[in-house]
Amino acid sequence: MQGINAQTRAEVEIRENPKLATGKYMAYEAPSIPLTPVPEGYVPCYISTYARHGSRYLTGKDKYEPALTIMEEAEKNNGLTNDGKKTLKILRQLAEVAENRYGELTPKGARQHQGLARRMFENYPEIFTDGAHIDARSTYKTRAFLSMAAACVELKGLNPKLNITTDASQHDEYFIKYKNPIYSDSCQHNADSVFAEAEKRFVHPGRIMEVLFKPEYISKVKNPGKLECDLFEYHGISQSSDNMPDLSFLFNEKELFDLWQLNNFEWYYEQGPSPLSGGKMPNLARNLLRNIVEAADTALVSKKPCATLRFGHDTNLAPLVALMNIDGFNHSTANWDSIPQYYQTYRMIPMCGNLQLIFFRKKDSKDILVKPLLNEREIHLTGIKTDCFPFYHWKDLRKTWIELTEKIYLPELPEDYETD
């Protein structure tokens, strides 16, 4: 639950665990916090999930080249300090391991989903019984498909008698990887000025340039702010590969927190409830939330244990978390300093970030309970009352979510609209 000192908490948490500053690039780690026992008489019967793909490489060669070009040019001209040389060596390692694998799942990313699937199996064995139908769907992006494959192979190994079906196609794009540029553009018409203000607030590359380059060479570096941001991105993505050195030696505490705030604000503006983008970007998760309700209706009618597993992307998980108002993530504020109080990327969308809804039945009772988990941690669904936290009554969730999705209007996309 978000607290009044959450901004201070975010600073403290990042100071104590600097990996949190990498936000969406943070490699997933399973929590060790114990879960609340199920109320007496209730048994798990259905699980519904949406999970981001696991750790990956950066999405294109153009993500690696700009900083490499600057650093290699400085190397040729004897402009690098010792830390600059160390940085260049790491950049080359990162670029080499990603070559011809841009945007793809790393071995670590596959293991993240294997572990997540195994823990679901161990925590809710009543669901993963012989013959239980596991409906697994992913986007058509390789990293999401391979995340699904890793999870399904793990589950099949744990119980070969599971009935697992998989699908990865544009057919499900309307909910599993939904985008609406018409809607987004109408909400983000002021993006250029907003991002310029964000960079002014949070990007201060002067000290890092002095760490990387010799004094006489610093003036030759074009766009040092972008270089600082690129290096921070490489620092984050280094977590995706095994035994890869990072760039933590470059950034002090303030720079880590500022660069995290920059990225955190971008997500708040583009996918969250920022008033600067109309406070309406979470509405893009309408179809996904409706699919969650409809799939649950079908599963619960069958009265057989089953699961619906969805594998997608941070750009769908983030608005879903906000639309559901998990732990107050849908709080809208125009105060730049208050944003970290309500919205933290590292809590929402690390690599392999996931939302789980576990459903429980009780014999001779029509009442169905649901426990929501975000990244395997118990959460509050802000605004929805419950007398049995961290469990909620399905009838209350269903009613709230249907009413919510029915109120949301999204413009129709043209028939010739092509996805990426």
pLDDT digits (tens, 9 = 90+) for 115-167: 999 999 999 999 999 999 999 999 999 999 999 999 999 999 999 999 999 99
Q: Of 307, 227, 247, 270, which is closest to residue 90 (Cα–Cα)?
A: 247
Is residue 397 a part of any domain in this protein? yes
Confidence at residue 419, expressed as pLDDT on a 0 to 100 scale: 61
* Residue 1 counted as domain residue: no
Over 50: is that where the pLDDT of 3 sits? no
In the chain, the number of structural domains is 2
Same-domain status, 95 and 108 = no
273 neighbors 279 (Cβ within 8 angstroms): yes
Question: Looking at residue 2, what is its pLDDT?
Answer: 46
| 252 and 391 both lie in a single domain | no
Global pTM? Answer: 0.96
Separation of alpha carbons 137 and 139, rounded Å: 7
268 within a domain of the structure (yes/no): no
- pLDDT at position 54 is 99
Nearest by Cα to 352 from 27, 54, 105 = 54
Tell which residue, 149, 150, 153, 161, has the closest CA to residue 125. Answer: 161
Residue 413: pLDDT band by 50, 70, 90 thresholds? Answer: confident
- Predicted local distance difference test score (pLDDT) of residue 238: 98
Please give the pLDDT value at position 4: 43
Asked if 225 and 305 sit in the same domain, the reply is no
Select from 234, 261, 288 the last residue of a domain: 261
Model pLDDT for residues 14-52, shown as the tens digit of each residue: 999 999 999 999 999 999 999 999 999 999 999 999 999
**What CATH number does residue 398 fall under?**
3.40.50.1240
Residue 219 has pLDDT above 90, yes or no: yes
Phi and psi torsions of 166, nearest 5°: -130, 155
Q: What is the pLDDT of residue 1?
A: 42
Q: Residue 245's domain spans which residues?
A: 61-101+190-261
Q: Same domain for 401 and 338? A: yes
What values do phi and psi take at 344, rounded to 5?
A: -135, 115
Within a domain: 414? no
Structural domain includes residue 178? yes
pLDDT above 60 for 5 = no
Q: Are 358 and 47 in contact (CB under 8 A)?
A: yes
In a domain, 400, yes or no: yes
Show Cβ contacts of residue 29 under 8 Å, excluding neighbours closer than 6 positions.
none
Residues 257 and 292 in one domain: no
Whether 212 and 138 share a structural domain: no
pLDDT at position 420? 66
In this structure, the answer to whether residues 169 and 296 fall within a common structural domain is yes
Whether residues 82 and 156 share a domain: the answer is no
Does 241 map to a domain? yes
* pLDDT tens digits, one per residue of 49-102: 999 999 999 999 999 999 999 999 999 999 999 999 999 999 999 999 999 999
Q: Is the pLDDT of residue 194 over 70?
A: yes
- Residue ending a domain, among 237, 261, 285, is 261
Asked, for residue 267, whether it belongs to a domain, the answer is: no
pLDDT of 223 higher than 70: yes
Confidence grade of residue 236 (pLDDT, cut at 50, 70, 90):
very high
**Domain finish residue from 261, 288, 303:** 261
Say if residue 7's pLDDT is above 70: no
Q: For residue 10, what pLDDT band results from cuts at 50, 70 and 90? A: confident
Identify the pLDDT of residue 163: 99
Average pLDDT of the chain to the nearest whole number: 96
Q: Residues 16, 88: one domain?
A: no
Q: What are phi and psi of 134, to 5 degrees?
A: -110, 105
* Alpha carbons 95 and 64: distance in angstroms, whole number: 6
* pLDDT tens digits, 315-371: 999 999 999 999 999 999 999 999 999 999 999 999 999 999 999 999 999 999 999
Q: Check whether residue 36 and residue 97 sit in a common domain.
A: no
Do residues 135 and 250 share a domain?
Answer: no
- For 366, other C-beta atoms within 10 Å of its C-beta total 8
- The verdict on 401 and 354 lying in the same domain is yes
Say which amino acid occupies 395: K
8 Å CB contact between 289 and 401: yes
According to the model, what pLDDT value does residue 9 have?
A: 78
